[in-house]
Amino acid sequence: MWKKAFVTLLSLNILIVVMMTLFWGSLPQKQQVQHQVQQATASHSLATVQLAVGDAALNTFMEYALSGQKDLNHVVSYVRLTFADQWQVKVGFNVASRILPFEFVIDPQVQQGGNLSLHVISASMGQIGAPLGVVFFVFDHLSFPAWIRVNGQSHSLELNFSERPQQPYGIHIISYQPTTRLLTLRISMVPKSVLESHKP
């Protein structure tokens, strides 16, 4: 009797082991799952968000983003905006291991393609007014990234976001409303899995 029970129990154990082995073998490998996820994500590779922000939110975002913007943070130490009919802008430029503080009054003009032109109306260092010719002479000698162009003739800085690297996120300016003091922009983000799949 006990021999029959032993054989039955042994058979059940063997059956369980075989079933567990078959189940384990049927599970997909890690590389297969990652590849499938990347393929599915690639077909929807951009996540786009449109939002309207005030100056406080934009200042917080710029403080965060500037630290990771390698082509810009060696030129600009900080940026602070105050929205109104015209923008009040405080900028610290990195010049010869020093920070050169400027304050600007700017007329923002949204351009085609989601770009932004900043027309400088006046400039000062502290309480001392700075001639725009001198300011743009300094700008001409700063190593701005290629997507920021200095236009000395029109006293403008052209922020060509359409030419800016779109990874890990892209920026498209839609409009600025002086009455609500809100800047509307569209941000497109590339999923992390897609970025990692393109790493060397």
Per-residue confidence (pLDDT) for residue 12, from 0 to 100: 53
Helices H, strands E: what count in the chain? 5, 10
- Cβ burial of 173 (10 Å; 0-12, 13-18, 19+) is buried
What is the DSSP-derived secondary structure letter of residue 131? Answer: -
pLDDT 10s digits, 62-99: 888 887 778 888 899 999 999 999 999 999 998 888 88
Of 106 and 32, which is predicted with more confidence? 106
pLDDT of residue 7: 46
pLDDT, average across residues 99-120: 94
Contact 177, 87 (CB under 8 A): no
pLDDT value, residue 45: 63
pTM for this model (two decimals):
0.73
Q: Are 44 and 21 in contact (CB under 8 A)?
A: no
Give residue 123's pLDDT.
95
Beta strands at 148-151 and 156-159: parallel, antiparallel or unpaired: antiparallel
Quote the pLDDT of residue 193.
Answer: 47
Cα(first)–Cα(last) distance of the chain, in Å?
66
Could you read off the pLDDT of 32-70 as tens digits, one per residue? 544 544 454 444 567 888 999 999 999 998 888 887 778
Is residue 4 pLDDT above 60, yes or no? no
Say which residues have a Cβ less than 8 Å from residue 88's Cβ, sequence separation at least 6. Answer: 81, 82, 103, 104, 105, 106
pLDDT at residue 169 above 70? yes
Tokens encoding 2: 């006990």
Distance CA 78, CA 1 (A): 86
